Amino acid sequence: MEIRPIIDHHKTFTLEANDGGARVGTLHTAHGDVPTPAFMPVATQGSVKTLDSTDIDAVGTNILLGNTYHLYLRPGVDLVEEIGGLHGFMVWDGPILTDSGGFQGFSLEHLRRIDEDGILFKSHLDGSMHKFTPEATIQYEERLGADIIMPLDMCVSADAERHVVEEAVERTNRWAVRCKEAHTRDGQHLFGIVQGGLYEDLRQRSAEFIMSLGFPGYAVGGLSVGEGKERMYAMTGVTTELLPSDAPRYLMGVGSPEDLVESVARGIDMFDCVLPTRIARNGALFSKQGRINIVAASHKRRDEPLEEGCDCYTCQTYSAAYVHHLFRAKELLGFRLATIHNLRFILRLMEEMRQAILEGRFKQYRAEFHGNFTPPDELVRHVQRQKWLKSQGRPGV
């Protein structure tokens, strides 16, 4: 990989163009600039599953996401810090963002207790107890050495009653103050997180308070947690209109192609999600028309790429018949080739949207995308997600 120089920017984000609500910009970090819109492949435990650093770079990755909670449990912050921080440990010299563990406070409901001081987790590895306070979380993230870090926040389910959402907003606000006061590392951006569920007035209250603290970037939290697409799109639009135009906007946990296009249309700059890599390992591959089930018998004799015109390593090198064979034979190489394809599809989508915005034709691009791409039925996706959550020992959302 090309070594990217360490740089020091006085400004976090440069807005370069608008086309309707969609935006193009550049996010400045200590490990390089990130063109936006940007998608962050998820390296939860310091690894994008099945890929190495060369693969990650080759698909066009500009920034990765790691998870503080999981890295804290294994291998431990001390070890990662000792071996060059997360960049040195992973052998990845590009920008990294770390999540705080706040989402695990939501998704691991059966393994945690939340109070004003923070989140007490029971380790899913060995049952040991660990307290994540706002101050401790920031200390862990500083020591991991990510370029962008997230504060500890409180996320609740889409169907939570108003008083629960309101409590989550107020607690997230109080924790944000504590996180900001605890943050001391230079050259590292601490973003704020806006909560509020599906209540517009609570979103506004949260945004106004978080913006008053003066963070260099803002995340939209508490969405993609079971509320359905139309409500997610609506609340994303409501929230982005509240945020400053000269700061990056990050929608947490969203990664379906149709969701990325619709969220960019509403002014989002950054995304992360495990979806592209997770479904790849289940044989679901993206194409311009929708998802391909590579395990299906129809691919057995397809002596052609997974998708014509795709520039990923998998499509440039192997036939669909070969990838089909790997999955049917349960060969691990299939996971890698499928993951390369799906990530390249998503990252190329971000590149195409950026170019369309710069050329003032995003509306046309958006219409053509939806004219070609058929997403899975939302009910089917919900059932599949419930099965996955159950397989992970996690509660449904």
Give CA–CA dist 216/97, Å, rounded. Answer: 14
The C-alpha torsion from 169 through 170 and 173 to 179, rounded to 10°, is -110
Burial of 356 (0-12, 13-18, 19+ CB in 10 A): buried
Q: Give me the number of domains the chain comprises.
A: 2
Distance of alpha carbon 379 from alpha carbon 248, whole angstroms: 32
Are 214 and 351 found together in one domain?
no
SS3 track for 181-232: HHCCCCCCEECEEECCCCCHHHHHHHHHHHHHCCCCCEEECCCCCCCCHHHH
Q: From CA 151, how far away is CA 177, in angstroms rounded? A: 9
Which candidate in 19, 93, 99, 259 is catalytic?
A: 99
Is 52 catalytic? The answer is: no
CATH of the domain at 55: 3.20.20.105
Task: Report the chain's terminal Cα–Cα distance, integer Å.
Answer: 40
159 in any annotated domain: yes
What local confidence, expressed as pLDDT, does residue 393 receive?
44
Q: Do residues 360 and 266 both lie within one domain?
A: no
- Contacts of 354-360 spanning 24+ positions with Cβ under 8 A: 354/24, 354/35, 354/36, 354/37, 356/19, 357/17, 357/18, 357/19, 357/22, 357/23, 357/24, 357/264, 358/16, 358/17, 358/19, 358/24, 360/19
Residues 184 and 321 reside in one and the same domain: no
Mark whether 250 and 323 lie in a shared domain: no
Neighbours of 370 (CB within 10 A): 13
Determine whether 99 is an active site residue: yes
Q: Write out the chain's pLDDT in tens, 397 residues.
A: 333 333 333 489 999 999 999 999 999 999 999 999 999 999 999 999 999 999 999 999 999 999 999 999 999 999 999 999 999 999 999 999 999 999 998 888 889 999 999 999 999 999 999 999 999 999 999 999 999 999 999 999 999 999 999 999 999 999 999 999 999 999 999 999 999 999 999 999 999 999 999 999 999 999 999 999 999 999 999 999 999 999 999 999 999 999 999 999 999 999 999 999 999 999 999 999 999 999 999 999 999 999 999 999 999 999 999 999 999 999 999 999 999 999 999 999 999 999 999 999 999 999 999 999 999 987 666 665 555 445 444 433 2
- Strand pairing class (13-19; 148-149): unpaired
Tell whether 67 is covered by a domain: yes
Q: Are residues 313 and 232 in the same domain?
A: no
> Considering the entire predicted model, what is its pTM?
0.93
Q: Is residue 118 part of a domain?
A: yes
324 and 245 share one domain: no
Look at residue 387 and tell me if it is in a domain.
Answer: no
Q: In the prediction, which pLDDT does 394 show?
A: 41
The token pair that represents 263 in the structure block = 């969220």
Residue 47 lies in a domain: yes
* 213 and 303, same domain (yes or no): no
Residues 238 and 358 reside in one and the same domain: no
**Domain finish residue from 232, 251, 273:** 273
Whether 270 and 248 have beta carbons less than 8 Å apart is answered as yes
In a 13 Å sphere around the CA of 270, the CA atoms on its Cβ side amount to: 30
Q: Which of 273, 307, 331 is the endpoint of a domain?
A: 273
Query: Same domain for 188 and 50?
Result: yes
CA 27 to chain centre: 16
Is there a single domain that holds both residue 136 and residue 31? yes
Which domain covers residue 365, as residue numbers?
Answer: 280-372
Tell me if 395 is assigned to some domain: no
Domain-ending residue, one of 258, 273, 288: 273
Active-site annotation holder among 147, 259, 269, 272: 272
- Report the pLDDT value the prediction gives residue 105, as an integer from 0 to 100: 87
Instruction: Verify that 214 and 153 share a domain, yes or no.
Output: yes
- Same domain flag for 324 and 289: yes
Asked if the structure places residue 196 within a domain, the reply is yes
Residues 6+ apart with CB under 8 A from 126: none
Judge whether 383 lies within some domain: no
